[in-house]
Amino acid sequence: MGYCKTVTFEGKFTLKSGNSFPRITLAYETYGKLNADASNAILIFHALTGDSHVASHAPDDPIGWWEEAVGPGKAYDTNKYFIVCSNILGGCKGSTGPMFINPETGKPYGLQFPVVTIADMVNAQMLLLDHLGIKQVLLASGGSMGGMMALQLAVSHPDRCKNVQILASTGVVSPQSIALNEVARQAIYADPNWNGGDYYADGHPRPDKGLAVARMIEHITYLCEESMQNKFGRNLRGRQQVGYDFQINFEVESYLRYRGETFTHRFDANSLLYVTKAIDYFDIGDGYSSLDEALKRIKARVLIASYSSDWLFPPVQSVSLASAMLRNGIDTTYVEIESNYGHDSFLLEVEKLSELTRDFLESASHHEVSETAKIQSRLQDKRQDHDLILGIIPSGSRVLDLGCGTGELIERLSYEKKAKTRGVDLCEKNVRACISKGLSVRQGNIEEGLRDYPEGEFDYVILSKTIGYLDNPQAVVKEMLRVGKRAIISFENAGYWENRIKAMKGKGMGHTLLSGEPRCRLITLSQFEQFVKSIDAQIERREFLQNGKHIASPEMLDRLVEEYRYLGVEKEEGPALLADTAMYVLKAKSS
């Protein structure tokens, strides 16, 4: 690959273990053009067996491992951004690794190579950024092990990244992952050609059989049952029936053997030992008094994406990381992408990733109100209840919107009130829409609690027309009043005269909020106010709407009562019968 460059950094490079190198070399490739103030740089970290060749540079250049994501007009658009990708320290594609000559012995390091960590790999790449004249990258991005390095960069060097993208990764490697890596290493150890790591001499056979088996083990973890079923099923390989022997019978056997064999032509067995060990050691809280203490160092905006079918680093691990970040007030967006490709989804679902990345990058500048016209055009179709909420919330407030949908309300709050907004929504599509608007949103179920947020984190927490669909509204509203100074709750009034007539023709008014029945869908004003008393909260403000119009004054209420006199409406029960939508501002009694 003629486009690959190397740079050697002379001088002692100390590792986390205390060992050191007298010098290190890094292989790297760049794409696009660095602008005058070096503000358009993107640092991409590769996964376990990747290298610096993330994409091709010319038609005759070999394709890269993220070919569909990097290039002109792609997610990492080389017409806009300057892309940097380096082979990691400990790798075998041009950077200092076990294949390099040990200056003390004059022979390849082999197992004399000191153990490196994810932090060591990142520290080495900071030297590369210095070499390229880049003080801060616009984005640090990576999947799997690359995601670990992106996270490590954000913690260890918080001033050197503006945005961070962590894909199909984790904040701490699980015992299951460590176990799988150890099995892969044992396959290499068991190959007699490994020779204790000393196999670099001319004519000495390489431990290809052990390395191939190690790769087969790893490759199984990258897939999932559904993808393997869809791709292979129980299809036979070149035969009509099973042979009742130990030859290749099934397509999946042939596939794994092919993957293992081809891998031996491009990777070094010792490097695999060292890199998998670096992964095993990864714990972002290591070296700090706690995980929270480590994450508090982050200054970047963070996007965390998991994949539904990934069982190597499953969504629950990404949720845990996102939760810890939210608990520490970090601007964090989390989305779980539906996919049936397993852990490899971040490499294969390039179209989805491209949309997500493009939206995240563009929103970095968009949300600084630089594209006023675009925002205003989206906000022309305003909901009256949203107008009410904007009238209630003061400028500069901290706001959390539960069930935020595609983000219309929090975008208006951000734009018109300069509010610091966050959102939660269960739908992946909605979360992605919010990301495209530059909004920080977490994908999740609000009924699982708001424990990720500290007490008093927000000035206002909003629940708009959702309370009637909750299984446990008491718990949710109590949590709203824990994390927020005030809660704004709106709902459709089941006592509105048209709704009463419909209910009379049906099966009555349904369950109350206090009935204990799930999925209560009908709420009257009196029921809601009784509910508020039951959770030991107090009502600070009431607002009512009819047909999108605010019932804002006694005079307007008088007119409505007169208009609906034929229904027997009295003034004291006017809102209960004439408001189709109610909005309440609540606060805890102790506040």
Structure-derived torsion over alpha carbons of residues 554, 557, 563, 564, reported in degrees to the nearest 10:
-130
Helix (H, G, I), strand (E, B) or coil at 107: strand
Smallest CA-to-CA distance from 270 within 102, 127, 62 is with 102
Which whole-number Å values give the CA distances from 312 to 223, 317, 344, 409, in the listed order?
9, 10, 10, 37
Smallest CA-to-CA distance from 276 within 187, 151, 165, 190 is with 187
> Which positions ≥6 away from 109 have C-beta within 8 Å?
97, 98, 99, 100, 101, 102
Indicate the residue type of 497.
W
> CB–CB of 575/546 below 8 Å?
no
Indicate the residue type of 113.
F
Strands (E), 321-406: 332-337, 398-402
User: What value, to the nearest 5°, has the Cα angle with vertex 82 and ends 25 and 153?
Assistant: 60
Name the token pair of 183. 């099995």
Structure-derived torsion over alpha carbons of residues 238, 241, 245, 248, reported in degrees to the nearest 10:
30
Catalytic annotation, residues: 144, 310, 343
Cβ atoms within 10 Å, residue 441: 27
Name the token pair of 377. 């055009």
Pairwise CA distance, residues 103 & 121, whole Å: 20
Which whole-number Å values give the CA distances from 551 to 497, 543, 547, in the listed order?
15, 7, 10
Residue 175 CA from chain centroid, whole number: 22
> CB–CB of 98/271 below 8 Å?
yes
Indicate the residue type of 355.
E
Pairwise CA distance, residues 543 & 504, whole Å: 26
Pairwise CA distance, residues 326 & 100, whole Å: 42
150 burial level (CB within 10 Å; 0-12, 13-18, 19+): buried
Task: Evaluate the CA torsion angle 583, 459, 428, 452 in order and state its sign.
Answer: negative
